Amino acid sequence: MSHPSLQASSEPLPSLPPCGALELDGDAVVWRIWAPTPSSVELVLYDGDEPRYVPMQREDRGYYSHIEEGVPEGQRYAYRLDGGNIYPDPCSRWQPDGPHRASAVVRTSRFRFSDADWQGIEKRDLVIYELHVGTFTREGTFAAVIPRLKELADLGITAIELMPIGQFPGNRNWGYDGVHPFAPQNSYGGPAGLAQLVDACHRHGLAILLDVVYNHCGPEGNYLARYAPYFTDRYTTPWGAAINFDGPGSDCVRQIVLDNVRMWLADYHFDGLRLDAVHTIYDFSARHILADIEQVARQESRRQGRPLHVIAESDLNDPRLLWPVERGGYDLSAQWSDDFHHAVHAHLTGERHSYYLDFGTAEQVCQSLVEPFLYRGQYSRFRDCRHGAPPVGLAGDRFVCCLQNHDQIGNRPGGERLTRLLAPPQLRLAASLLLLSPYLPLIFMGEEYGEEASFPFFCSFTDADLVESIRRGRQADFAFHGATGTAPDPLAEETFACARLSWSWPAGSIRAGLRQLYADLLTARRTWPALQNFDRPQAALLPLDGSGPVVELVRQASSTQQTLRAFFNLSGEPADIGQHVDEAWRLALSSESSSYLGQRRHSDPPSRLYPHECLVFHATGRNEAPKLV
């Protein structure tokens, strides 16, 4: 059976000419720029000691172009506007010397991929590993990621997700301050290094997703407004001017974004995109830009014959992102759902500041295992209004959930991971909640072994006024959200250095035990039929005498009779579940097994739950699940 996205049909999107330095036959290149703001545009070619200025041909709707033969790879170029200032290409595919300097020609068709037989990863099989290239290794490059891919694949990861890599100022940045959305970061290894990483992922059987930012651009090195109305003053975002998706000139802005989508999926062979903060993508057109992005991805999916995924980050609890077009939706592959994280985090840590004000009860942890949105139109104290809508008709594999991600860690003043906030049994319990849930799991780099290094916000801007504004703004953000503590200086190199992974789990350590639990739970997700059914399971808080709370989760296979029952002790006290399990149920997994450096021993009765323990049982005699305990 072909992938559903391969069967979708849609009208072709209207097309405007692509921008950038685009390869033609042989060594010819066409330079095209959308620049209705200046009166004239010249191409500046850096061939030798002196730059060469070439008048560009004016085209309809504010485009300019020029074709040149015999252009070498790496040719440096820029644009001069109205005979005055010179700026890099906003649609540059390569910024070898950073965002302020000349752009360079790169021919993506000359990348050498060996993944012709790559079939991709189906959405239901995604186990996403979010990583930041600069801190994932000491080298901080695309190439340095490659030696670690085998261990991720062996762990059970099926897809890595790169935090944004569009060219940003300096060498240290989360990536959300990019100003050249088509150009892979030079300090990471540029276009060639990125292509090699994608190809290596596919060799290891891993999909690779890219976090892209279509809601704003960074503040330093942002020259887009010099060329055209890329931005609008009708809306604002927390990070800067909003992108112009529905005002005068927006057709061309939309086309550039869709060309960007197509480039990552076609030229670089990415398996999907994570769209940053779509709730700040403002578009009141009759057809939303998100629907167009999904359509481009489906066109590429059909052309390439493999599944491609578009996953939205949103805090609106809005099912329209996922509903089909005929129902008024955008039909994206999946969306992030924060409520699971908030419920588990607030309950286990006891924190109640900011959005955690709406969470923290055991009932919410229980409900989060069957409802991706806990707020489906109910009143939110944090927001002081009703929030969300019911995700009617949407299966669990349309939602990405996590225990930690770059925001949930990095937006704390100290950038503390859960490892610094919870005891080992609680970490194991949290991992069990995530990986036994009916959602697509996202694991933040290092989480699988209990990395203790913080992940604070960091950047390396050079503008002095901007630097001071960033420092004040971060502290104001923490104060607004009710978090306490002083954040490290985001501009300091040691703030960046402290975020590097140790990538260490010595044998016999708590870290090794936690990593083994992740591996076993991921094996279970892959091999136990009951965990491959993403329809809503059943969950309930158990009535227990004098102990608890304990949540029971029931997952049942759709194609076999296999039924799994997971019991999560959400308290710091032991609990007895003897009245709920008998000899018909066999213990398959314990998060407190000695294999994971937990308290449970083989002589312990399976009806006794240790504090913060998860026990998984399967019915005997019915397509038995592998016994991991």
The first and second tokens of residue 587, run together, are 């213990």
With contact defined as beta carbons under 8 Å apart, do 572 and 423 qualify? no
d(Cα 187, Cα 455) in Å, to the nearest integer?
20
Q: What is the pLDDT of residue 391?
A: 96
β-strand partners of 76: 46, 104
Q: Would you place residue 478 in the very low, low, confident or very high pLDDT band (cuts 50, 70, 90)?
A: low
Q: Which two tokens stand for residue 475?
A: 């502290």
- The mean per-residue pLDDT over the stretch 539-545 comes to 91
Task: Judge if 20-110 and 510-619 fold alike in CATH terms.
Answer: yes
Beta bridge partners of 553: 539, 566
The pLDDT of residue 126 is above 80: yes
Does the N-terminal peptide bond of residue 549 adopt cis geometry, omega within 30 degrees of 0? yes
Computed on alpha carbons and rounded to an integer, the radius of gyration of the chain in Å comes to 25
Rounded to an integer, what distance in angstroms lies between the CA atom of residue 173 and that of residue 550? 42
**Rounded to 5 degrees, what angle do the CA atoms 85, 87, 89 make?**
150
Q: How many CB atoms lie within 10 A of CB 258?
A: 20
Cα(283)–Cα(281) distance, rounded to whole angstroms? Answer: 6
CB 470 within 8 A of CB 459: yes
> Does 276 participate in catalysis according to the annotation?
yes
Residue in 578, 571, 575 with CA at minimum distance from that of residue 612: 571
Q: What is the pLDDT of residue 2?
A: 39
Reported as a single tens digit per residue, the pLDDT across 352-394 is 999 999 999 999 999 999 999 999 999 999 999 999 999 999 9
Asked whether 563 and 617 are in contact (CB, 8 A), the reply is no
Please give the share of the chain, as a percent, with pLDDT higher than 70.
94
Distance CA 263, CA 12 (A): 17
pLDDT for 473 equals 72
240 beta partners: 237
Tokens of 568: 């999560």
Give the mean model confidence (pLDDT) for residues 81-99. 98
* Catalytic residue, candidates 199, 259, 271, 276: 276
Tell me the two tokens of residue 473. Answer: 């703004």
pLDDT at 283: 98
> Percentage of the chain with pLDDT > 90?
88
Per-residue DSSP letter, 88: -
Phi and psi at 421, nearest 5°, equal -110, -20
Burial class (CB in 10 A: 0-12, 13-18, 19+), 123: buried
Strand, helix or coil for residue 211: strand
User: Within 279-320, where are the H helices?
Assistant: 289-304
Kindly tell me if the per-residue pLDDT of 10 is higher than 70: no
| pLDDT given for residue 468 in this prediction | 80
Q: What is the mean pLDDT of residues 547-567?
A: 91
Residue 506 CB-density burial (10 A; 0-12 exposed, 13-18 middle, 19+ buried): exposed
Average pLDDT, the chain: 94
CA 227 to chain centroid, in Å, comes to 30
Q: Can you give the pTM of this predicted structure? A: 0.95
Write out pLDDT tens, residues 12-53.
666 799 999 999 999 999 999 999 999 999 999 998 889 999
CB burial class (10 A; 0-12, 13-18, 19+) of residue 336?
buried
| Domain range summary for the chain, segments of one domain joined by + | 20-110, 510-619
* Distances, alpha carbon 128 to alpha carbons 50, 155, 160, 524, 569, in Å: 49, 12, 6, 16, 26
Beta bridge partners of 543: none
Backbone angles phi, psi at 363, to 5 degrees: -60, -35
Q: What is the CATH number of domain 510-619?
A: 2.60.40.1180
Neighbours of 288 (CB within 10 A): 20
pLDDT at 480 over 70: no
Which of 5-9, 158-162, 475-479 has the lowest average pLDDT? 5-9
**409, 413, 418, 420: CA torsion to nearest 10:** 150
Closest alpha carbon to 459 in 193, 252, 168, 253: 168
Contact call for residues 411 and 405 (beta carbons, < 8 A): no
Q: What is the pLDDT of residues 389-418, one digit of tens each?
A: 999 999 999 999 999 999 999 989 899 999
Other C-beta atoms within 10 Å of 238: how many? 10
Average pLDDT over residues 574-597: 94
pLDDT in tens, 49-73: 899 999 999 999 999 999 999 999 9
Token duo for residue 39? 């009166």
**H helix intervals, 377-529:** 406-410, 424-435, 464-480, 493-497, 510-527
What average pLDDT does this structure show over 76-95? 98
123 vs 3, 127, 272, 528, CA distance in Å? 10, 9, 10, 17
pLDDT at 228 over 90: yes
Active-site pick, 283, 313, 339, 451: 313
Structure tokens given for 112: 């050498």
Q: Identify which has the larger pLDDT, 198 or 465.
A: 198
> Which pLDDT value is given to residue 9?
42
- pLDDT recorded at residue 5: 41
Strands 29-34 and 20-23, by their bridges, are antiparallel
pLDDT band at 343, cuts 50/70/90?
Answer: very high
CB atoms within 10 A of CB 545: 8
Give the pLDDT confidence score for residue 7 in this predicted structure: 40
Burial state string for 47-80 with b = 16 or more CB within 10 A and e = fewer than 16: eeeebeeeebeeeeebbbbbebeebeeebbbbbb
| Widest Cα–Cα separation across the chain | 85
Q: What sign for the dihedral angle of Cα 454, 206, 278, 372? A: negative
Percentages helix, strand, coil for the chain, rounded to the nearest 5? 30, 20, 50
| pLDDT for 403 | 98
Task: Yes or no: say if 309 and 333 are a contact pair by the CB < 8 Å rule.
Answer: yes
User: Which distant-in-sequence residues (6+ apart) come within 8 Å of 556 by Cβ?
Assistant: 530, 533, 537, 562, 563, 564
Structure tokens at 463: 């503008």
- In three state form, how does the secondary structure of 227-278 look? HCCCEEEEEEECCEEEECCCCCCHHHHHHHHHHHHHHHHHHCCCCEEEECCH
The total of other beta-carbon atoms located within 10 Å of residue 415's CB is: 21
What CATH number matches the domain at 20-110, 3.55.40.20, 2.60.40.10, 2.40.100.20, 2.60.120.680?
Answer: 2.60.40.10
Work out the pLDDT band at 479, boundaries 50, 70, 90.
Answer: low
- 277-318 pLDDT, tens per residue? 999 999 999 999 999 999 999 999 999 999 999 999 999 999
Interior/surface letters 353-375, b for 16+ CB within 10 angstroms, e for the rest: eebbbbbbebebbbbbbbbbbbb
pLDDT of 560 reads: 73
